[in-house]
Amino acid sequence: MKKREVHIVGNWKMNQTLVEISQFFIEMSKMKMELKCKAWIAPQAIHISILKEIAFTTGSIQIGAQNCCEHDSGAYTGEISPLGLADIGVEFVIIGHSERRTIYGEQNSLLNKKVLLALSHGLKVIYCVGETLEERESGQTFSIIENQLDLGLKNLPAEQAKNLMIAYEPVWAIGTGKTATAEQAEEVHAFIRSKLTTQAEQTIILYGGSVKPDNIDSLLAKENIDGALVGGASLKAQDFRALCSSASTAMM
Ligand code: PGA
């Protein structure tokens, strides 16, 4: 029985065509199951509205965004407005994913602006942190994470902490098939919790990095792991469902 509500969050990244999306939901609906966990999906931005409509009819999945801008409106061609996300009823946004940090050079100070603005609109924020392989091997894991938390969550208003979630995603485990062991993950999750100044006990801390139906149970067995942020395995309805099913069992 978990202390906190278990969340399975699918990060679809830049994947899925309309045909694949409808196939995903047809398969999901065939697999009748009662969800005890929270099941969330972040599709690419162009599909958010479509998924919201489908999710509204199927009822059990909440839809979010993979990123947002640090401004609400203006001359920012190609950006995704957090105000706009809130306006169309999006529930959550992922901020600071390692692909945003490494490919698009997003720094902690920029991410801090995004986090604060998204929270101010009532969006739930999944703020991602994680070390590279080099950083882990040189013993810097905890200092890197601490820095990402300190700078990325600077000036977080205490009353908004309830809408903040953290995802620990070791960069070396994302899309590589190498998962951190449950023990490695738990060690960092406990560290993250110890660093949170408000709502520490209530905050959902997700693990991400090659989570699959065959390793989710051992991760969820750990006290400070409250769910998973899942890339590859969330694209297949069967795997996503298996993850939700493990999470539902962990809730009981
Ligand atoms: P993965 O991706 O599950 O494919 O490793 C996780 C993520 O990037 O959020």
DSSP letters, 5-21, are --EEEEE-TT---HHHH
Contact 117, 82 (CB under 8 A): yes
User: Token pair of 221, please?
Assistant: 């067995």
pLDDT band for 171, please (50, 70, 90 cuts): very high
pLDDT band for 31, please (50, 70, 90 cuts): confident
Task: Give the per-residue pLDDT at 54.
Answer: 87
List, chain by chain if needed, residues with CB within 6 Å of any ligand 1 atom: 11, 169, 174-175, 208-211, 229-233
Name which residue sits closest to atom 6 of ligand 1, judged by CA.
Answer: 231
Asked whether residue 49 carries a pLDDT value surpassing 90, the answer given is: yes
User: Token pair of 159, please?
Assistant: 């009353």
Task: Give the per-residue pLDDT at 175.
Answer: 85
Q: How many domains does the chain have?
A: 1
Domain with 58, as residue range(s), is 7-250
Domain presence at residue 23? yes
Name which residue sits closest to atom 7 of ligand 1, judged by CA.
Answer: 231
> What radius of gyration do the chain's Cα atoms show?
17
pLDDT digit string (tens) for 224-247? Answer: 999 999 999 999 999 999 999 999
Asked whether residue 34 carries a pLDDT value surpassing 90, the answer given is: no
User: Token pair of 157, please?
Assistant: 């208003």
Contacts of 170 (CB under 8 A, 6+ apart): 130, 131, 136, 180, 184, 185, 188, 209
Task: Give the per-residue pLDDT at 155.
Answer: 97
Task: Give the per-residue pLDDT at 161.
Answer: 95
Task: Give the per-residue pLDDT at 176.
Answer: 86
CA distance 17 to 15: 7
Domain presence at residue 193? yes
Would residue 186 show up in a list of annotated catalytic residues for this protein? Answer: no
Q: Which long-range contacts (CB under 8 A, 24 or more apart) does 171-174 make?
A: 171/98, 171/102, 171/130, 171/131, 171/132, 171/133, 172/131, 172/132, 172/133, 172/136, 172/209, 173/208, 173/209, 173/210, 174/98, 174/99, 174/130, 174/208, 174/209, 174/210, 174/231
Residue 234 is classified by DSSP as G
Between the CA of 15 and the centroid of ligand 1 the distance, in Å, is 12
pLDDT digit string (tens) for 81-115? Answer: 999 999 999 999 999 999 999 999 999 999 999 99
Task: Give the per-residue pLDDT at 60.
Answer: 80
Element (H, E) at 117: helix 108-120
Mean pLDDT of the chain: 95
Among 97, 106, 131, 189, the active-site one is 97
Domain presence at residue 2? no
Domain presence at residue 98? yes
Domain presence at residue 187? yes
Would residue 7 show up in a list of annotated catalytic residues for this protein? Answer: no
Asked whether residue 67 carries a pLDDT value surpassing 80, the answer given is: yes
* More confident of the two residues 172 and 252: 172
Among 70, 99, 106, 169, the active-site one is 169
Domain presence at residue 1? no
Closest CA to 162 of 194, 196, 202: 202
Ligand 1: residue of 211, 214, 236, 243 to mutate (most ligand atoms within 8 A of CB) is 211
CATH number where 214 lies = 3.20.20.70
Domain presence at residue 225? yes
Domain presence at residue 213? yes
Ligand 1: residue of 7, 8, 9, 11 to mutate (most ligand atoms within 8 A of CB) is 11
